[in-house]
């Protein structure tokens, strides 16, 4: 079982905002959908990062840019602009940190150049 962390500050802020809106019943339909998708993806990642429904795979362009293996998993499929989450192993063993959420890129040649990822928390003792 993996412990899921959220990249700082962007992913942590996004999740906390969505969670607060859903709990206070002020979330739009799109926000509620995104919250459910992210929650499901985080649950599946914590159980098995290679779960078939996630279709997790390394993104070599982001791995090269960030100097650590960056993985992409599906939030949804067969939808224009389908959501994807980006994640890395760490900061500790048995940890996964969600560092990005983006729609699936349409531009194949420069697909990952525009993606900016959150920072990972520092490793704890």
pLDDT at 105: 59
What is the rounded distance in angstroms from the CA atom of residue 31 to the CA atom of residue 62? 27
Please list the alpha-helical segments (H only) found in 48-71.
Answer: 60-66
Say if 86 falls within a structural domain: yes
- Write down the pLDDT at residue 114: 61
Distance CA 85, CA 99 (A): 8
Average of per-residue pLDDT across 27-35: 93
Write out pLDDT tens, residues 94-116.
999 999 888 765 555 556 666 66
**Is pLDDT above 90 for 69?**
yes
In a domain, 38, yes or no: yes
pLDDT value of residue 106: 56
Domain hosting residue 35, numbered range = 3-103
Angle CA 46–47–53, to nearest 5: 100
pLDDT at 62 over 60: yes
Query: For the domain that residue 71 is a member of, what is the CATH number?
Result: 3.30.2310.20
Chain position carrying tokens 């998993």: 73
C-alpha distance from residue 56 to each of 19, 118, 125 (Å): 24, 19, 28
Structure-model confidence comparison of residues 75 and 124, the more confident one: 75
Asked whether residue 9 is assigned to any structural domain, the reply reads yes
Percent helix / strand / coil, the chain, rounded to 5: 30, 20, 45
Q: What angle do CA 67, 68, 71 make, to 5 degrees?
A: 130
Does residue 118 belong to any structural domain of this protein?
Answer: no
Angle at 31 between CA 27 and CA 111, to 5 degrees: 160
Highest mean pLDDT among 26-40, 69-83, 98-112: 26-40
Number of domains in the chain: 1
Residue 32: inside a domain = yes
Residue 45 domain flag:
yes
Residue 23 has a pLDDT of: 97
Identify the CA nearest to 54 among candidates 20, 106, 16, 4.
4
Q: What percent of the chain has pLDDT over 70?
A: 82
Whether 71 is in a domain gets the answer: yes
- Domain assignment present for residue 81? The answer is yes
Q: Taking 70 as the threshold, does the pLDDT of residue 83 lie above it?
A: yes
């Amino acid at each position: 079982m993996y412990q899921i962390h959220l990249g700082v500050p962007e992913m942590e802020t996004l999740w906390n905002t969505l969670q607060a809106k859903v709990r206070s019943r002020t979330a739009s339909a799109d926000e509620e959908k995104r919250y459910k998708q992210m929650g499901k993806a985080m649950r599946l990642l914590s159980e098995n990062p290679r779960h078939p429904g996630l279709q997790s795979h390394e993104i070599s362009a982001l791995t090269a840019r960030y100097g650590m293996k960056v993985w992409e998993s599906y939030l949804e499929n067969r939808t224009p602009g389908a959501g994807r989450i980006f994640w890395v192993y760490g900061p500790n063993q048995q940890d996964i940190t969600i560092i990005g959420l983006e729609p699936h890129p349409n531009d194949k040649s420069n697909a990952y150049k525009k993606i900016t990822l959150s920072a990972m928390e520092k490793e704890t003792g």
